[in-house]
Structures are given as C-alpha cells and as structure tokens.
Amino acid sequence: MDWGLKNRMSKIIKPDTGRSVMLAVDHGYFLGPTSRLEDPKKTISPLAPYADSIMLTRGVLRSSVDPSLFNSVVLRVSGGTSIIGEDLANEGIITCMEEALRLNASGIALSIFVGSKYERQTLLSLAELVDSGERHGMPVLAVTAVGKELGKRDARFLALSCRIAAEIGAHIVKTYYCDDFEKVVDGCPAPIVVAGGPKMTEKEALELTHKSISKGAIGVDMGRNIWQSEHPVPMIKAVRKIVHEDATAKEAYDLFKKLAKNK
Ligand code: 5RP
C-alpha cells in the first residue's frame, strides 16, 4: 500500500486496536428521511465524537457536518435508485473521485449486488473505483447484500459476496452477521465490518456486535441500532467498549444501562 492509502486506512481502522466503529448515516440516499435521521445534523452531532468514521453522502456531509470535526469520513459514492423504484440494485456511481478528494474523504463506499440482475454492473463499478482508489490513495469499502439480496443472508451467500469484493480489490468489506459467520471471515482476505440492520433491542444489538467481533470482524458500520435507540450516545459508547476494549456483551449492556439511566 502507498503511504496515502495507508494513512487514510488508519483514519478508518484505528492502528492501536486494529478495529473500527463506523457510524452509518447514509440511509437517506435510497430511503429518504428515515426515522430519527430526518434532520441529519441533529442525529450526527452528538454521536460524531464517538465514531472513528462516519459513512454518509456528500450532500449530508456538506449540509450537516461541521468541517472542523475531527473524525474521518467514508463517502458513499454509489446510488441512483430508491426504495420505491424499479430495482434498488441498479446503482451507478454518483460521486467522482475528485469530489471525494476535495471533501478529504478517508474512504469511499459503494454497494455491490451479487446475485442480482445488476451484479456485473456493480462489480465493474467496484473494479473501476479500486483502480482509481489505488491511483489516488483512496481506500474503497464494498457494501454487500443490501436490498432484496438481504433475504439471502446466509454464510454461503455472504461468503461469496465478500470474497468477490475482496478479489476485485476492496480494501474493506461491509456485510451482515449470520450463523457460521467465521466462514464469511475466513474466506475474505479483506477486513470485514458488520452492519447492524433493522432496529432490535440494545441488548440484541450489543450481542450481535460481540459475536461479530469474536468471530473475526474488525468492527461495525452501524446505523439504526445506534441512532434509533432512545439513548444513542450511551449505545455508541457501549458498542465502542466491545469493539475497542474487547468487553463482553453483558459488560457493554451494563454500561449502556448505566449511561442511559444517568442521562
Ligand atoms: C445501506 C448501508 C447502511 O449504511 C447500512 O445498512 C448500515 O446501517 P444499519 O446498521 O442501519 O443497517 O450501507 O446501503
């Protein structure tokens, strides 16, 4: 890896622990004003100090994030479809590399839709971004298994998607936790971060975080299970405790309850 690429990677994956807490706030790009993310500034501001990286679109970055913010940014650069459109998988590139560099992003992210009608198109976009990323020192995060593909959330499918993303050259791969998750991790030579998925209880989300980390994920890229919690700051702190301090799910949940009570 070139110096610039390594430097950017170190802003996303913390070198002291080799782990990462990414805060996903990119949902509006296909879901519109998602519950509790209607006003992105309100959602992001209190959480930003506790996230190693924030994943979002350029529009929300410009409108809703203070540029003096210390945290790093992973810019979502794929999109062009919506939840009510014909097919969510029919994504293209919506933000160019020059813009990502101008916005001082530490990484760029796109979704790939393995098994869909648009598999080839999204995989070729990943290949183009990786070529460009290598030229410019910009890490590329491939997001697997969003939308309809979510229905196929088992180890065989996720291992296939993650491995293909890594083979094409993704520097980080984002996927979902599943049974036999270690098979997904073992088959993927790139570091894996786990998405939280739809809102569950805080206890369940912390258990999911713990299982993901103990089975080899290097972190989370979590959204709804943090900012749709009644207590988002205690929740992100509890997630950090697992990711960066190897806390058990119980220790993290006890911390969450204590912080939520003292608010
Ligand atoms: C959608 C995404 C989201 O960032 C991802 O789903 C993570 O958020 P959540 O934890 O809410 O599932 O990449 O394409």
pLDDT tens for 65-76 read 999 877 899 999
Q: What is the CATH number of the domain that holds 191?
A: 3.20.20.70
Residue 235 lies in a domain: no
174 an active-site residue? yes
Q: In terms of DSSP H, where are the helices of 178-248? A: 181-186, 202-214, 224-227, 232-245
Q: Whose CA is nearest to atom 5 of ligand 1?
A: 195
Q: Once rounded to an integer, what is the mean pLDDT over residues 137-157?
A: 82
Alpha-carbon span 222 to 197, nearest angstrom:
8
Q: Which atom of ligand 1 is nearest to the CA of 111?
A: 14
Q: Once rounded to an integer, what is the mean pLDDT over residues 116-142?
A: 97
CA of 174 to the centre of ligand 1 (A): 9
**Residue 32: strand, helix, or coil:** coil
Q: In terms of DSSP H, where are the helices of 137-201? A: 155-168, 181-186
Q: Once rounded to an integer, what is the mean pLDDT over residues 36-56?
A: 97
Decide if 176 contacts 185 (C-beta within 8 A).
no
CA of 112 to the centre of ligand 1 (A): 13
pTM: 0.96
* pLDDT in the model for residue 148: 60
Q: Please state the domain count of the chain.
A: 1
* pLDDT in the model for residue 1: 74
CA of 252 to the centre of ligand 1 (A): 22
Phi and psi torsions of 96, nearest 5°: -85, 170
* pLDDT in the model for residue 71: 83
How many helices (H) and strands (E) the chain has is answered by 12, 10
Residue 249 lies in a domain: no
Alpha-carbon span 219 to 212, nearest angstrom:
8
CB count within 10 Å of CB 86 equals: 8
Quote the tokens at residue 161.
């998607």
User: Helix 155-168 vs helix 119-136: angle between axes, to the nearest 10 degrees?
Assistant: 40
Residue 72 lies in a domain: yes
User: Helix 40-47 vs helix 232-245: angle between axes, to the nearest 10 degrees?
Assistant: 40
Q: Pick from 221, 226, 229 the residue to mutate for probing ligand 1's pocket: most ligand atoms within 8 Å of its CB.
A: 221
Q: Which atom of ligand 1 is nearest to the CA of 25?
A: 4
CA of 209 to the centre of ligand 1 (A): 14
Residue 128 lies in a domain: yes
Q: Once rounded to an integer, what is the mean pLDDT over residues 246-256?
A: 98
Position 176 pLDDT exceeds 90: yes
Residue 262 lies in a domain: no
* pLDDT in the model for residue 149: 55
Single out the catalytic residue among 11, 174, 215, 241. Answer: 174
Residue 261 lies in a domain: no
Q: Does residue 196 line the site of ligand 1, with CB under 6 A?
A: yes
* pLDDT in the model for residue 183: 97
Position 151 pLDDT exceeds 90: no
Per the structure, the complete domain to which residue 203 belongs is given by 3-229
Decide if 234 contacts 35 (C-beta within 8 A).
no
Residue 245 lies in a domain: no
Position 156 pLDDT exceeds 60: yes
Q: Nearest-CA neighbor of 181 among 153, 203, 201, 143?
A: 153
**Residue 93: strand, helix, or coil:** strand
CA of 137 to the centre of ligand 1 (A): 25
Decide if 76 contacts 109 (C-beta within 8 A).
yes
Alpha-carbon span 209 to 196, nearest angstrom:
8
pLDDT band, very low/low/confident/very high, at 145 (cuts 50, 70, 90): confident
* pLDDT in the model for residue 263: 75
Alpha-carbon span 101 to 239, nearest angstrom:
30
* pLDDT in the model for residue 152: 65
Q: Nearest-CA neighbor of 91 among 113, 58, 114?
A: 113
Q: Does residue 149 line the site of ligand 1, with CB under 6 A?
A: no
Q: Once rounded to an integer, what is the mean pLDDT over residues 38-62?
A: 97
Residue 252 lies in a domain: no
Q: Pick from 22, 25, 26 the residue to mutate for probing ligand 1's pocket: most ligand atoms within 8 Å of its CB.
A: 26
CB count within 10 Å of CB 252 equals: 26
pLDDT band, very low/low/confident/very high, at 182 (cuts 50, 70, 90): very high
Alpha-carbon span 86 to 48, nearest angstrom:
34
Alpha-carbon span 46 to 23, nearest angstrom:
12
Residue type at 241 in one-letter notation: K
